Amino acid sequence: MSPAKWNIILKIHRQKQGEAPHFEEFPMQVDPDEYVLDAVERVWAFMDRSLCFRHACHHSTCGACGMRVNDVEKLTCITPIREVTRDGATLKVEPLRNFPVVSDLAVDMGTFYSRMETVGARAVLPVSEAEIENPPTTWDADESQYIRLADCIECGLCISACPAAATSTEYLGPAVLAGAQDQGLKRNLKLLELVDSEDGLWRCHSAFECTAVCPSFVDPARRIMDLRMQVIEERFKRLFRKP
Ligand code: SF4
């Protein structure tokens, strides 16, 4: 027997260029075991083709469908409706915070992606650069020359949830600092200067909101604390190094 349907109101943040942000409500019937992204897609498919949002893989690998659901950062493709609302209630969906809104629910992640590149935390590497045991030698399709290595899926949820990122657009933010922690500071003075700068790891307030929302168990807050230890250690070493 299929589960009983719920009647909910999907309340969606709308904002086109030059328009003041506002909410629009879309009443609909849902299966509570569907995901929030399914409900958003239903609005686009049957109610309003102008709704703009990002999505791709539908299985929490690409990180594209991050949004704020009832004020909490979620990957909407893996967030069941029954976990975030109830029958007869309203379900609010907004774009991630601390990113410029491109349109409706879609945000501009460009600066974030280039900061990840700057600290050397690329989500996708050419196979030739990958440190993996016994790399396959028989792939020949173009796309198979690249491989995803990192656990961070670059969804941006941690940046949206971060209270320090809300105070400064220049702050590198949790995912970027977590990515830097993986790179090692010993022989990388440029990276050391970057993470030890005004917009680097000392801006973190240790709120741990990033770790709470991360869907990929990266634990950025713990990595930032580890990075602080690395920086202090490296600074001391450089201070007392014999000429
Ligand atoms: S650290 Fe976690 S929350 Fe932040 S971008 Fe990476 S996967 Fe997303």
The pick from 154, 181, 217 for probing ligand 1's pocket by mutation, whose C-beta has the most ligand atoms within 8 angstroms, reads 154
The CATH number that domain 110-120+152-240 falls under is 1.10.1060.10
- How far does residue 127's CA lie from ligand 1's centre (Å)? 23
Helix (H) or strand (E) holding 210: helix 209-213
- How far does residue 99's CA lie from ligand 1's centre (Å)? 14
**DSSP-H helix ranges across 43-188:** 81-84, 110-118, 157-161, 174-181
* pLDDT score at 240: 85
* pLDDT score at 21: 97
Is the pLDDT confidence value at 82 over 90? yes
Q: How far apart are CA 150 and CA 182, in angstroms?
A: 10
* pLDDT score at 241: 77
- Please calculate the CA angle 3-94-47 and round it to the nearest 5 degrees: 60
Domain ranges within the chain, ordered by starting residue: 6-107, 110-120+152-240
Q: How far apart are CA 21 and CA 101, in angstroms?
A: 10
pLDDT band at 237 (very low <50, low <70, confident <90, very high): confident
The pick from 153, 162, 182, 222 for probing ligand 1's pocket by mutation, whose C-beta has the most ligand atoms within 8 angstroms, reads 153
The CATH number that domain 6-107 falls under is 3.10.20.30
| pTM value > 0.75 | yes
* pLDDT score at 150: 62
When the pLDDT of each residue in the chain is averaged and rounded to a whole number, the result is 89
pLDDT, tens only, 155-211 = 999 999 999 999 999 999 999 999 888 777 777 888 999 999 999 999 999 999 999
Which residues have any ligand 1 atom within 6 Å of their CB? Answer: 63, 152-158, 174-175, 178, 214, 216, 218, 220
The pick from 157, 213, 223 for probing ligand 1's pocket by mutation, whose C-beta has the most ligand atoms within 8 angstroms, reads 157
* pLDDT score at 63: 94
Query: For residue 63, which atom of ligand 1 is closest to its CA?
Result: 8
